[in-house]
Amino acid sequence: MFQGQIAVRLASMAGASSQNFFEGTEKLLEVWFTGGSEGSDLRDVKQESWEKLLRVVRCEIISKTSNADMDAYVLSESSMFVTQSRFILKTCGRTTLLLAVEPLMELVQEQCGFKKVLDVFYSRKKFSKPEQQHTIHQSFDEEIAHLDKMFKNGAAYTLGRINKDCWHLYTMDAVGVMEPDQTVELLMWEMCPDTMQIFTKKLCQDGQEATKKSGICDIIPGVQIDDFLFDPCGYSMNGLLPGGYYITIHVTPEPHCSYVSFESNVPQENYMELMEKVLNTFKPGKFLMTVFANKESIAKDNHKRLEDKDYVPGYTRTDHQFCTFKNYNLTYSHFTRPII
């Protein structure tokens, strides 16, 4: 089912020269739907319909795991999560994620009866090589223009240094989601070469071995894990917890383009301990952290825990920004290892 897309990805990932660069930086889309009947549920969408949608994005399903609250898909390029009213798609490489937004809205109205988008979030770190992306993704301005055609009250932001590492966000200027909601991301690069070796077939036979050997299984205990180790290298995992909570980790291990992402919506008042666990697992040279939490979430005041964190063990903060939206607080922090 997915062999063609994996072959494409492996062709991009194999080898160690700059000619075989793979863009680990993901495009992240989260859409909340409303306006359906009492029984409307995105999980009722047929798998063949998801597969058709993902072909627009240029990726395919590798595996699926589920619990009572969520379906999670490991993809040939990252992950997809589906709950009753929320859709999350995260894709790396040269995928064309934004081309799927309009057909997604048509699909969920046809098969689930949802007639309205309650809220939308599209975000990504600055690409290492934007010129290798599809035209729609080569600049944030192009992405904004595409989204503005569908959302009349869209709002776009860039946090961080626009001439260095920065992070882009597109959302709706609306109150939106009123149930508790939060997302924490750590985007990491200039990775430890020894750690990255774990995510290659030279050192591990499969995803399960890489998950255990790296310590990923200990970051949030009790997670139901679905993992995959690509050949010859590269790693993806989804983890589910009761209540509609997830974690997802993706690793691009090649030294010339090493990159790791960690994302979770597990609610915590303070994400510092979780952040340090992730950093101790992967040992990046640089990372940025974002915490997005609405006013119903216990994480809504997390920015107060981060305001005075100019230094975390092994890292110095180079940028820190805080934004308040109509119903969300957003904190952005960028850290780097001190040059000795």
Domain at 141, CATH number: 3.60.90.10
Give me the catalytic one of 92, 112, 204, 257. Answer: 92
Give me the catalytic one of 76, 78, 214, 264. Answer: 78
pTM over 0.85: yes
Token couple for 271: 């994400």
Give me the catalytic one of 236, 258, 264, 333. Answer: 236
> What is d(CA 328, CA 113) in angstroms, rounded to the nearest whole number?
27
- Asked if residues 286 and 336 have their Cβ atoms less than 8 Å apart, the reply is yes
- Asked if residues 123 and 167 have their Cβ atoms less than 8 Å apart, the reply is yes
Torsion angle (degrees, nearest 10) of CA 189, 290, 267, 228 = -30
- Return the amino acid letter for 53: L
157-190 pLDDT per residue, tens = 999 999 999 999 999 998 889 999 999 999 999 9
235-272 pLDDT per residue, tens = 999 999 999 999 999 999 999 999 999 999 999 999 99
> What is d(CA 206, CA 211) in angstroms, rounded to the nearest whole number?
9
**Which uninterrupted H or E stretch holds 5?**
helix 3-13
Query: Is residue 192 annotated as a catalytic residue, yes or no?
Result: no
**What SS3 state is found at 293?**
strand
Query: Is residue 60 annotated as a catalytic residue, yes or no?
Result: no
What percent helix, strand, coil does the chain show, rounded to 5? 30, 35, 35
Give me the catalytic one of 250, 303, 320, 334. Answer: 250
Query: Is residue 236 annotated as a catalytic residue, yes or no?
Result: yes
pLDDT at 305 over 60: yes
241, 296, 289, 295: which is closest to 265 by C-alpha?
Answer: 241
- Asked if residues 239 and 224 have their Cβ atoms less than 8 Å apart, the reply is yes
Indicate whether 11 belongs to any domain. Answer: no
Helices 101-112, 47-57: axis angle to 10 degrees equals: 170
Token couple for 333: 């922090």
Token couple for 27: 């495009």
Residue located via tokens 């989204």:
147
Indicate whether 8 belongs to any domain. Answer: no
Indicate whether 257 belongs to any domain. Answer: yes
**Which uninterrupted H or E stretch holds 193?**
helix 193-196
Indicate whether 329 belongs to any domain. Answer: yes
Domain that holds residue 195: 21-336
Measured in whole angstroms, the distance separating CA 277 from the mean position of its chain's CA atoms is: 18
**Which uninterrupted H or E stretch holds 103?**
helix 101-112
Query: Is residue 23 annotated as a catalytic residue, yes or no?
Result: yes
The rounded mean pLDDT for the chain is: 92
pLDDT at 2 over 50: no
Total of domains in the chain: 1
Indicate whether 239 belongs to any domain. Answer: yes
122-158 pLDDT per residue, tens = 999 999 999 999 999 999 999 999 999 999 999 999 9
Measured in whole angstroms, the distance separating CA 156 from the mean position of its chain's CA atoms is: 18
Indicate whether 204 belongs to any domain. Answer: yes
Indicate whether 5 belongs to any domain. Answer: no
Beta bridge partners of 65: 72
Beta bridge partners of 291: 184, 331
Give me the catalytic one of 23, 60, 143, 254. Answer: 23
Token couple for 222: 């009790």
Indicate whether 1 belongs to any domain. Answer: no
13 — pLDDT class (breaks 50, 70, 90): very low
